[in-house]
Amino acid sequence: MALLTDFAAGAEVNRASATDHTYAHYRIVPARHPGRTFGTAFAALVIAAVLYSVLTNPRWGWPVFAEWFFAEPVLAGLGRTLLLTALASVSGSLLGTALALARVSRSPLLASLSFGYIWLLRSIPLIVLLLVLNNLGYLYETISLGVPFTNTVFLNYPTTQLLTPFAAAFLGLTLNQSAFFAEIVRGGILSVDQGQHEAAAALGLPRRRQALRIVLPQAMRSILPTGFNEIIGLAKSTSMVYVLALPELFYTVQVIYRRNLEVIPLLMVATVWYLVIMTGLSIAQHYIERYFSKGAVRNPVPLPFQAFFQHFRRPLPVVAQAAAAASKSGFRDAQVFRSGGAVHVNAISKSFGSLKVLDNVELTLPAGSVTAILGPSGSGKSTLLRTINHLERVDDGFISIDSELVGYRQKGDTLYELKEKDILKSRADIAMVFQNFNLFPHLTVLENLIEAPIHVRGLARDEAIRLAQELLARVGLSDKINAYPRQLSGGQQQRVAIARALALRPKVLLFDEPTSALDPELVGEVLDVIKELARTGTTLMIVTHEIGFAREVADTVVFMEAGRVLEAGPPDRIFRDAQHPRIREFLAKVL
């Protein structure tokens, strides 16, 4: 107790002395870092020693260096090096990207061809490849263009005339570069989240558009650092084409020092030019990386001249009035909704290996109905949704929407699977909202929303923008139209995802646990949007664990377990007295 009083008294004294002086006059002493000071001194010493030696040793021959640095043959050689690097990196990257896409394609033969090419070209040393190409005239005296295996020939040239040293160098570097670049691009593609592929497919985007707009731009983030490494490597590898006696930078320098015997100064001429090239490439890399980091960071740094270019952007059409009206009236009287489709799930079964995930599931959802699917984890709810928009194929049975088969064409009693192009097109009638939102992070909210309407539905851009603005107003996010998904909260992201699904104007909208990834306080805002939607006439199918919500909005509740529908019926009955003891047990646990 005495100690305590002493302590209190001490505190009193401190406070008293603090009021005597003003804080502003305390002296601040930064922490000392003797190690850091020593390191700095050491670095200064090393730099001074290197500079001293380089500048004072006359054998470096700086006057000779100065004489040759801008000499005409050197600049001509530099020009050839730059041209070769630029050409080979462009064609190498293009060919490499094509090879990577071939390698991940679904055609096994195409994938093997690409694999074989990469294996071969990565194994052959560049210098060997260059020499073989240089001697191609010995192997094939002429190069002709015609129809294979016939006598039709359009062009016929002597190989040595066509394959000049420059062409051989360009070809060799391209072939070599593409093999390495292909693997870098493949690595980038693999790094893109599976959900992105799935969301792009669910929107029905054509395959090409999926690859070029959704997957590759995101892959760029991991392609660029290693890709630029390759290009810098390439700029240096061009020095290897001296074996073809092509007067690029290194070869030119060699020719000169053989004549004047000033080896070191001339090697320095080449070295400094290489340094200049690499510096330029590194700066380019920095800005290109920043461009492709769009949306990947929460607070992006604006690019240089971005404000300037923004001037030339077309402004968004103003639909403030329509938007305001829309946000007031909610979804109810919207013109944007199509009437719902009637879904018929006809005795479908599906197995993964020996695991039967769907077992003879039979469901009928009338047009405009709202169905909630409940059931324990692993009971096949997600798989059921995925079969409805044909992201997953069924083993048996079929699904139809307004009596049209999903994914197949019927002829007699045989079902023929549709071509992917047609599946993608028909998939747009069945939109899907995912648990993890799967918004495209590199596109703004607006770009996320107009992508499918333009490229699947064929809407004009202005029309698509207007639709997007209206939908955003309805989900209460008009002010976020130019934000990137990562700048939004989870609830906002899911509302954008719902708007994106609605922008397809689907007949059927599938929700796979739309609120499971959200904080409890954000669940409400998403459920409110779905509640609004429930009365628009679009057919909804919602996998959810929100029992209260299901009871309020659903016409039908379906309970699934182990791939089977245990019971289906109006919510009142299911929740009050389910027939099945298993359901009563489940409800007792989650309620």
In the range 176-195, which residues lie near ligand ADP by CB under 6 A? none
User: Are 85 and 234 spatial neighbours (Cβ–Cβ below 8 Å)?
Assistant: yes
Q: Least distance from C-beta 381 to Mg ion, angstroms? A: 5
Residue 382 found at the interface with Mg ion (CB under 5 A): yes
Q: Least distance from C-beta 528 to ligand ADP, angstroms? A: 24
Q: What are the tokens at 529?
A: 């949007």
The strand ranges marked E within 141-273 are 142-146, 153-158
Over the window 365 to 394, marking each residue x when it contacts ligand ADP by CB under 6 A and - when it does not, the resulting string is ----------x-xxxxxxx-----------
Judged by CB under 5 A, the number of residues near Mg ion is 1
The window from 61-69, 209-217, 377-385, 446-454 that contacts Mg ion (CB under 5 A) reads: 377-385
Question: Is 382 or 493 the residue whose CB approaches Mg ion more closely?
Answer: 382
Q: Which of Mg ion, ligand ADP, none is residue 55 near (CB under 5 to 8 Å by kind)?
A: none
Question: Is 248 or 546 the residue whose CB approaches ligand ADP more closely?
Answer: 546
Q: Least distance from C-beta 407 to ligand ADP, angstroms? A: 17
For helices 445-455 and 490-502, give the axis angle rounded to 10 degrees. 20
* DSSP three-state, residue 210: helix
The window from 305-313, 349-357, 465-473, 521-529 that contacts ligand ADP (CB under 6 A) reads: 349-357
Residue 544 found at the interface with ligand ADP (CB under 6 A): no
Q: Which of ligand ADP, Mg ion, none is residue 217 near (CB under 5 to 8 Å by kind)?
A: none
* DSSP three-state, residue 294: coil
Q: 111 phi and psi, to 5 degrees? A: -60, -40
User: Are 361 and 345 spatial neighbours (Cβ–Cβ below 8 Å)?
Assistant: yes
Q: Least distance from C-beta 101 to Mg ion, angstroms? A: 31
Residues in Cβ contact with 565 at an 8 Å cutoff, skipping those fewer than 6 apart: 361, 362, 363, 558, 559
In the range 213-272, which residues lie near ligand ADP by CB under 6 A? none
Least Cα distance to 127 among 240, 249, 250 occurs for: 240
How many C-beta neighbours within 10 Å does residue 49 have?
Answer: 10
Q: Which of ligand ADP, Mg ion, none is residue 344 near (CB under 5 to 8 Å by kind)?
A: none
State which H helix or E strand residue 268 sits in: helix 263-292
**CA 59 to CA 40: how far, in whole Å?**
30
Residue 321 found at the interface with ligand ADP (CB under 6 A): no
Question: Is 496 or 565 the residue whose CB approaches ligand ADP more closely?
Answer: 565
Q: Least distance from C-beta 402 to Mg ion, angstroms? A: 26
The window from 205-213, 315-323, 352-360, 447-455 that contacts ligand ADP (CB under 6 A) reads: 352-360
User: Are 180 and 96 spatial neighbours (Cβ–Cβ below 8 Å)?
Assistant: yes
Q: Which of Mg ion, ligand ADP, none is residue 249 near (CB under 5 to 8 Å by kind)?
A: none
Of 70, 119, 352, 416, the residue at the interface with ligand ADP (CB under 6 A) is: 352
The window from 301-309, 335-343, 374-382, 493-501 that contacts Mg ion (CB under 5 A) reads: 374-382
Q: Least distance from C-beta 153 to ligand ADP, angstroms? A: 52
Q: Which of Mg ion, ligand ADP, none is residue 297 near (CB under 5 to 8 Å by kind)?
A: none
Q: Least distance from C-beta 343 to Mg ion, angstroms? A: 19
Q: Which amino acid is at 8?
A: A
Q: Which of Mg ion, ligand ADP, none is residue 357 near (CB under 5 to 8 Å by kind)?
A: ligand ADP
Q: Least distance from C-beta 493 to Mg ion, angstroms? A: 19
Residue with tokens 């104007």, as numbered in its chain: 505
Q: Which of Mg ion, ligand ADP, none is residue 378 near (CB under 5 to 8 Å by kind)?
A: ligand ADP
Q: Which of ligand ADP, Mg ion, none is residue 379 near (CB under 5 to 8 Å by kind)?
A: ligand ADP
Residue-wise burial string across 6-29, b where 16 or more C-beta atoms lie within 10 A, e elsewhere? eeeeeeeeeeeeeeeeeeeeeeee
**CA 101 to CA 83: how far, in whole Å?**
27
**Ramachandran category for residue 357: left, alpha or beta (phi over 0 → left; psi -120 to 50 → alpha):** alpha
User: Are 511 and 500 spatial neighbours (Cβ–Cβ below 8 Å)?
Assistant: no
Over the window 161 to 200, marking each residue x when it contacts Mg ion by CB under 5 A and - when it does not, the resulting string is ----------------------------------------
The window from 110-118, 378-386, 518-526, 575-583 that contacts Mg ion (CB under 5 A) reads: 378-386
Least Cα distance to 542 among 452, 453, 445, 431 occurs for: 431
Least Cα distance to 382 among 574, 587, 195 occurs for: 195
User: Are 494 and 514 spatial neighbours (Cβ–Cβ below 8 Å)?
Assistant: yes
How many C-beta neighbours within 10 Å does residue 293 have?
Answer: 15
Of 223, 256, 277, 357, the residue at the interface with ligand ADP (CB under 6 A) is: 357
Q: Sign of the C-alpha dihedral, residues 418, 424, 425, 426?
A: positive
Q: Least distance from C-beta 355 to ligand ADP, angstroms? A: 6
**CA 389 to CA 532: how far, in whole Å?**
23
Contacting residues toward ligand ADP, per CB under 6 A: 352, 355, 357, 375, 377-383
Contacting residues toward Mg ion, per CB under 5 A: 382
